[in-house]
Structure 1
Amino acid sequence: MRFIIFATVFLLVMGLLSFFISKRFINKLDISKKSKLFLNIFLLINFLGVIAYMCTRYLVSVPNDLYFLLSLPIGVIFLLFCTTLMYEVLSHLPKIRKDKKRRAFMKKSIDLGSLAFATSITAKAIYNAKQSYIEKVNVKIPNLKKPYNVVQLSDVHIGGLIDQDFIKDIVYKVNKLNPDAVFITGDLVDTDIKFAKKAVDELENLKSKYGTYFIVGNHEYFHGVEEIMAYLKSINIKVLENENVYIGKDNQGFNLAGVYDVFGYRANKFEPDIKKALEDVKDSPTILLAHQPKYINELNNQNIDLVLSGHTHGGQIVPFNLLVRLAQPYIKGLHQHNPKTQIYVSKGTGFWGPPMRLGASSEITYLKLTS
Structure 2
Amino acid sequence: MSSPSANTAPTTTRPRRPLRIVTISAVVTAILILLFGVPWWTLVAGGPNWPTPVVVVGTLIFALALVGLPASMFLSYGRVDRDGLHRVGDTLIGVVWVVFVWSVLGYVLRLTLMLFGVDDPVRSRISALATIVVSVALVLWGYREAMRVPRVKYVDVVIPRLGAGLDELRVVAITDTHYGPINRAQWSQGVVDVVNELDADIVAHVGDIADGTVDQRREQAAPLATVRSKLANVYVTGNHEYLHEAQGWLDHMDHLGWETLHNKHIVIERGGDRLVVAGVDDATARGSRQASHGADFGAALAGTDPTLPVLMLAHQPKQVTDSVAAGVDLQIAGHTHGGQIWPFNMLVKLDQPSVHGLSRHGERTQLYTSRGSGFWGPPLRVFAPSEITVLTLRRS
TM-score past 0.5 threshold: yes
Equivalent position to 1:127, from 136, 144, 154: 144
- Aligned to 2:379, the other structure's residue is in SS state coil
| Residue of structure 2 in register with 1:306 after alignment | 330
The superposition leaves residues 228-279 of structure 1 with CA deviations (integer Å, 9 ceiling, x where unpaired) of 2111111211110111111223542311110111102312341111111111
The superposition leaves residues 145-199 of structure 1 with CA deviations (integer Å, 9 ceiling, x where unpaired) of 2221111011111121153212111111111112111101110021011111222
- Whose Rg is larger? 2
Q: Does 2:89 correspond to 1:36? A: no
Equivalent position to 2:217, from 196, 218, 221: 196
Which amino acid in structure 1 is aligned with residue 206 of structure 2?
T
| Residue of structure 2 in register with 1:159 after alignment | 180
| Residue of structure 2 in register with 1:333 after alignment | 357
The superposition leaves residues 202-251 of structure 1 with CA deviations (integer Å, 9 ceiling, x where unpaired) of 10100111131000011101111122211111121111011111122354
Aligned residue pair count: 367
Q: Does 2:137 correspond to 1:117? A: no
Question: Which ranges of structure 2 fall in alignment gaps of 5 or more residues?
Answer: 1-15
Shift of residue 364, structure 1, vs aligned partner:
0.8
Distance 1:74 1:11, change over 3 A: farther
| Residue of structure 2 in register with 1:169 after alignment | 190
| Residue of structure 1 in register with 2:299 after alignment | 276
| Residue of structure 2 in register with 1:321 after alignment | 345
Deviates more, 1:349-358 or 1:107-116: 107-116
| Residue of structure 1 in register with 2:394 after alignment | 370
TM-score, normalised relative to structure 2: 0.86
Question: Percent of counterpart pairs with the same letter?
Answer: 28
Q: Does 2:76 correspond to 1:53? A: no
The superposition leaves residues 5-49 of structure 1 with CA deviations (integer Å, 9 ceiling, x where unpaired) of 799554652233212322244212353222232222222222233
Q: Is the 8 A contact 1:149 1:179 kept in 2?
A: yes
Q: Is the 8 A contact 2:107 2:127 kept in 1?
A: no
Shift of residue 62, structure 1, vs aligned partner:
3.2
Equivalent position to 2:37, from 2, 12, 19: 19
- 2-structure distance, mates of 1:118, 1:36: 19
Shift of residue 301, structure 1, vs aligned partner:
3.5
- Aligned to 2:171, the other structure's residue is in SS state strand
**Superposition RMSD in Å:** 2.5
Which amino acid in structure 1 is aligned with residue 154 of structure 2?
K
Question: Which ranges of structure 1 fall in alignment gaps of 5 or more residues?
Answer: none
Q: After the TM superposition, which segments of 4 or more aligned residues of structure 1 sit over 6 Å from their partners?
A: 4-7
Q: Is the 8 A contact 1:291 1:308 kept in 2?
A: yes
Distance 1:219 1:286, change over 3 A: same
Deviates more, 1:49-58 or 1:155-164: 49-58
- Aligned to 2:393, the other structure's residue is in SS state strand
Which amino acid in structure 1 is aligned with residue 289 of structure 2?
N
- 1-structure distance, mates of 2:387, 2:250: 24
Deviates more, 1:121-130 or 1:318-327: 121-130
- Aligned to 2:144, the other structure's residue is in SS state helix
TM-score, normalised relative to structure 1: 0.91
